[in-house]
Amino acid sequence: MASKKIRKVAAMNRALARIRQIPFWSWLWFILGALYFILPLYATLNFSLRMERDVIGFKAYIRAFEDPEFLQTFFYSIGLAVMTIIASIILIVPTAYWIRLRLPEARRIVEFITLMPFVVPAIILVFGLIRIYSSPLKIPFTDIILLYPLTTFKFGTNALIVAGYMVLGLPYIYRSVDTGMRTVDVRTLTEAAQSLGAGWFTIIVKIILPNIRAALLSGALLTFAIVIGEVTLASFLAVPAFGPYLFLLGQHRAYEPAALSFASFLMTWVAMGLIQLFTGGQNQVSGAH
């Protein structure tokens, strides 16, 4: 009797467990989330394919990509992104390396600085940059000019916007470089290289950089994703970049902007997919809007 009852209860428990194993709520949240993700993309794609009445086709894409201004602004933005990435690596890799090797006491202050871009949003940053660099930079209380206004000539403006983008990307690049260095034994590598007679430049370029290339790539791709469609800095500094172009295009066209929006989504997707590939999804938390 007793064992029969126990078996019955056990069977009932098993049945209940099986029902519990179908996670209804989990599926519901997941499907809702998937819809939220996909609907706007589907709507954009759908819209972008309907430039010609009653025909599904890529006309909007062809039109958009054919526009010479698109190519100009797009390559301009790619150029800015590449410059930002190179300059960031030149600035941050030796800094992070030096801190790890010789100057751990600087870690806190440097980390604090790399967090500052979070409290100074792009709009505030560009406000400050314009106010500082649109007039000659003088030594305080004197008339000695250190720097002519950067915003008055092309190279100056480009340098200024690259610096601004470096600031926006700083938290991500610094963190990914620092994480990358944590996984390789910087000290041993350095001592080995030094004992073989390598100088600082050789050590950083030939030893450190190749060893943190996955981290560098993920930081670089994230920077690329931030810079390529960036609007705030580009439009206030009046730089002919892709973001402001897309914005203006949206003011007087309907289908081409949708096509370019979908294309830039795909580009973000590729960048993030590559990061995922390189790092296993470690360095994706960002937010530069």
Binding part of the chain for other proteins, among 51-59, 117-125, 181-189, 203-211 by CB under 8 A, reads 117-125
Based on the shown chain and the rule CB under 8 A, indicate whether residue 11 belongs to the binding site for other proteins: no
In the chain, DSSP finds a helix count (H) and a strand count (E) of 14, 2
**Cβ-contact 70, 266 below 8 angstroms:** no
Binding residue for other proteins, selected from 82, 83, 110, 189, defined by CB under 8 A: 110
Q: Which residues between 32 and 61 bind other proteins (CB under 8 A)?
A: 32-33, 36-37, 39-44, 46-48
Chain CA centroid to CA 158, Å: 19
Query: Could you give the CA distance from residue 153 to residue 237 in angstroms, rounded to a whole number?
Result: 11
Based on the shown chain and the rule CB under 8 A, indicate whether residue 126 belongs to the binding site for other proteins: yes
Based on the shown chain and the rule CB under 8 A, indicate whether residue 139 belongs to the binding site for other proteins: no
Residue whose CB is less far from other proteins, 3 or 48: 48
Based on the shown chain and the rule CB under 8 A, indicate whether residue 76 belongs to the binding site for other proteins: no
Number of residues that bind other proteins (CB under 8 A): 87
**Cβ-contact 264, 202 below 8 angstroms:** no
DSSP structure string for 194-217: HHTT--HHHIIIIIIHHHTHHHHH
Beta bridge partners of 138: 145
State the SS3 of 130-192.
HHHHCCCEECCCCCCEEECCHHHCHHHHHHHHHHHHHHHHHHHHHHHHHHHHHHCCHHHHHHH
Binding part of the chain for other proteins, among 58-66, 77-85, 125-133, 189-197 by CB under 8 A, reads 125-133
Based on the shown chain and the rule CB under 8 A, indicate whether residue 92 belongs to the binding site for other proteins: yes
Chain CA centroid to CA 67, Å: 26
User: N- to C-terminal Cα distance for the chain?
Assistant: 69
Q: Which residues between 226 and 285 bind other proteins (CB under 8 A)?
A: 226, 229-232, 236, 243, 246-247, 250-251, 257-258, 260-262, 264-265, 268-269, 271-273, 275-276, 281, 284-285
Binding residue for other proteins, selected from 121, 136, 149, 156, defined by CB under 8 A: 121
Binding residue for other proteins, selected from 89, 125, 181, 186, defined by CB under 8 A: 125
Binding residue for other proteins, selected from 78, 82, 83, 163, defined by CB under 8 A: 163
Residue whose CB is less far from other proteins, 3 or 140: 140
